[in-house]
Amino acid sequence: MKRLTLLLISSFSFILFFSTSSTAQCPVTNSAFESGERLEYKLFFNWKFIWKKAGTATMTTKSTTYKGTPAFQTDLITRTEKIVDKWFCMRDTLCSIYSTNIVPLYYRKGANEGGKYRLNEINYSYSDGQTKLHQYYRHSNGNVVVTDNTAVGCAYDMISMMMQARSYHSKDFTVGQRIPFFFADGDKVKQEFLIYRGIKNFTTEGTNITYRCLVFSYMEKSKKKEKEVVKFYITDDENHIPVRLDLNLRFGTAKAYLTRATGLRNPETSIVKK
């Protein structure tokens, strides 16, 4: 369950990171979301050929002010069902604050998993064409690691990365193309990549809504071999919201499905059948 939880939270950060700018701050014009957006998900785990509901995730965005500057704040909350709590209780809260042109300013992740608590904070600053990250990470055993990292070009946390990427488009990519990106987590800044798989239709569970989706795979190296960790289905419209995630775990598979979306900025033109 801990591995599943980490992948689910990380999945939201990898979605749709199509490209990076040559400047440190990488500002973009937001065309995908607005204050008041709320996305709700259900998480299912495959146990002995039976799909069981394991938990929920909710992501909300609102307008705020950070050090006197207008900004957005996005919060992601994930939690397990009561029946799963008996096996592994999880209560995670992520908060990202970024400018109106989606330049990251502050990030915090508090993770209460299996009775153990971890805390990660990042403060961003910019100078001389570089992104400077002051990173604080408290391990579940109480040990604290503080690092100062510098990135030439864009650097993002799990949430701000996704929110900026939602304003990009896939028209310049071809099926099978590998897309590199950078993100900050814990006390490090890492490079990862996606593979663009093309466009497919997907019908949601329960609501039976069929979406036209862009499909991506997040790849990971294991013993010098690459494997698909997560496959994403993203609406092919101006909202660019994730409607399905397939997670491949060491002990099975899991899926996350969008169950409700409110406060969307743009019409849902990717809906094929309702």
**What is the tens place of the pLDDT at every residue in 243-258?**
888 877 655 677 888 9
Average pLDDT, the chain: 82
* Region label for 211, one of left (φ > 0), alpha (ψ between -120 and 50) or beta (otherwise): beta
Residue pLDDT, tens place only, 24-33: 457 888 999 9
Q: How far apart are the C-alpha atoms of 161 and 184, rounded to whole Å?
A: 10
Reported as half-sphere exposure (CB side, CA atoms, 13 A), residue 251 has a value of 7
The answer to whether residue 64 scores a pLDDT higher than 70 is yes
The answer to whether residue 144 scores a pLDDT higher than 90 is yes
The three-class DSSP label of residue 210 is strand
**Average pLDDT for 113-135:** 87
Residue pLDDT, tens place only, 199-242: 999 898 777 899 999 888 877 766 777 777 778 888 999 999 98
At 251, which helix (H) or strand (E)? Answer: none
Q: How many helices (H) and strands (E) does the chain have?
A: 3, 15
Q: How far apart are the C-alpha atoms of 204 and 144, rounded to whole Å?
A: 42
The answer to whether residue 38 scores a pLDDT higher than 90 is yes
More confident residue, 160 or 183: 160
**Average pLDDT for 117-143:** 90
* pLDDT for the residue numbered 114: 67
The answer to whether residue 15 scores a pLDDT higher than 60 is no
* pLDDT for the residue numbered 23: 40
Provide the residue ranges of all domains of the chain, joining segments of one domain with +: 2-273
Residue 212: both structure tokens together: 């036209």
The answer to whether residue 193 scores a pLDDT higher than 80 is no
Residues 6 or more apart whose CB falls under 8 angstroms from that of 108 comprise 94, 95, 96, 119, 120, 121, 122
What is the secondary structure of 34-85 as a DSSP string?
Answer: -TT-EEEEEEEEEETTEEEEEEEEEEEEEEEEETTEEEEEEEEEEEE-HHHH
Give the β-pairing of 210-222 and 90-99. unpaired
